[in-house]
Amino acid sequence: MTLSMTGFAARKGQGAGHTWAWDLRSVNGKGLDLRLRLPDWVDGLELALRGDLAKALGRGNVSLALKITRDVGEEGEAGLRLNTGALQAALLALRAVEDRAMNIGVTLGQASAADVLAVRGVVDQGAAEVDTAALRAAILADLPALLADFNAMRAAEGAALAGILTAQIDRIADLVAQAKVAAIARQDETAQSLRDAVARVLAQSDGVDPARLAQELALLAVKTDITEEIDRLTAHLQAARALLAEAGQIGRKFDFLVQEFLREANTLCSKAQSITLTRIGLDLKTVIDQMREQVQNVE
């Protein structure tokens, strides 16, 4: 199953006296780059999440955001206490930031009351202290469901990618078949060109070295023969279809294979020696380049 590196999932959870909201998304990347935005007051949460995400995901630039709010009990918010000193410090710091930004011509968005209250220390938990170990366990227990939704989307995107890549592989196979036919049709023309070249050499030279002439003719034949390129392109097509049938991370392998496809197409164009083969070679390069763009999204 082909997986895309593009994905998104959002989920809400509840436990240990708190409610939280997840936001997980990713785009393509050469490796696995994890960017986490988490509350810093839950001890050990970031380390645990990084470990679980690294096990579940292979590649991609992944961003995870988690917002946590405390549930309101029967006594309302009596368990919460506003720390006026910390509030004053937060407001002064906010004003200093806004003044500095204004001085250099930067416009900031208006901070909300919720933003200020989220600053650590502004709100005290009072007598009802938070059991961060229990909260961390509850949050981590909710992560597999988030990852299931996330990977389901990546799998759906991957299935669409596989369809596109399959169509492109089929198109390349068709062009390779056309190139093979065109090469056969070109044989008489190539043979005549060689005969003409020999005639010109014999007409302009006295006592041509037969061995030297044979070497030059062999070299000309090699320079125009595309049999090896056709064979290698055919082998690459088989490898591409096999990769699409594999499970797991195939993106890097596929990227290397596309480079080999392009190398053979370039060589075919350089040996074309005919309008038909040149056109086929250029079409090959176009489709291969389109395939390379799609492969960049495969995990």
* pLDDT per residue rounded down to tens, the chain (299 residues): 789 999 999 999 999 999 999 999 999 999 999 999 999 899 999 999 999 999 999 899 999 999 999 886 544 444 567 788 888 888 898 888 888 888 888 887 888 887 877 887 777 654 446 678 999 999 999 999 999 999 999 999 999 999 999 999 999 999 999 999 998 887 666 666 666 666 666 666 666 666 665 565 555 555 568 889 999 999 999 999 999 999 888 999 999 999 999 999 999 998 887 889 999 999 999 999 999 999 999 99
**Residues 117, 210: one domain?**
no
CA distances from 156 to 4, 6, 131, 153 (A): 8, 10, 39, 5
Beta carbons of 168 and 294 less than 8 angstroms apart: yes
In a domain, 151, yes or no: no
Q: Are strands 81-82 and 123-124 parallel, antiparallel or unpaired?
A: antiparallel
Q: How far is residue 102's CA from residue 105's CA, in Å, rounded to a whole number?
A: 5
Q: How far is residue 92's CA from residue 74's CA, in Å, rounded to a whole number?
A: 34
Count up the domains in the chain and report the number: 2
Q: What is the pLDDT of residues 189-202, one digit of tens each?
A: 666 666 666 666 66
Helix (H, G, I), strand (E, B) or coil at 18: strand
Q: How far is residue 291's CA from residue 149's CA, in Å, rounded to a whole number?
A: 28
In a domain, 277, yes or no: yes
**Residues 113, 222: one domain?**
no
Locate 21 and state its tokens: 């909201």
In a domain, 258, yes or no: yes
Burial class (CB in 10 A: 0-12, 13-18, 19+), 137: middle
**Residues 99, 166: one domain?**
no
**Residues 265, 168: one domain?**
yes
**Residues 197, 281: one domain?**
yes
**Residues 209, 281: one domain?**
yes
Give the pLDDT of residue 76. Answer: 46
In a domain, 167, yes or no: yes
SS3 content of the chain, % helix, strand, coil (to 5): 60, 15, 25
Strand order across the 7-15 sheet = 7-15, 18-27, 60-70, 32-37
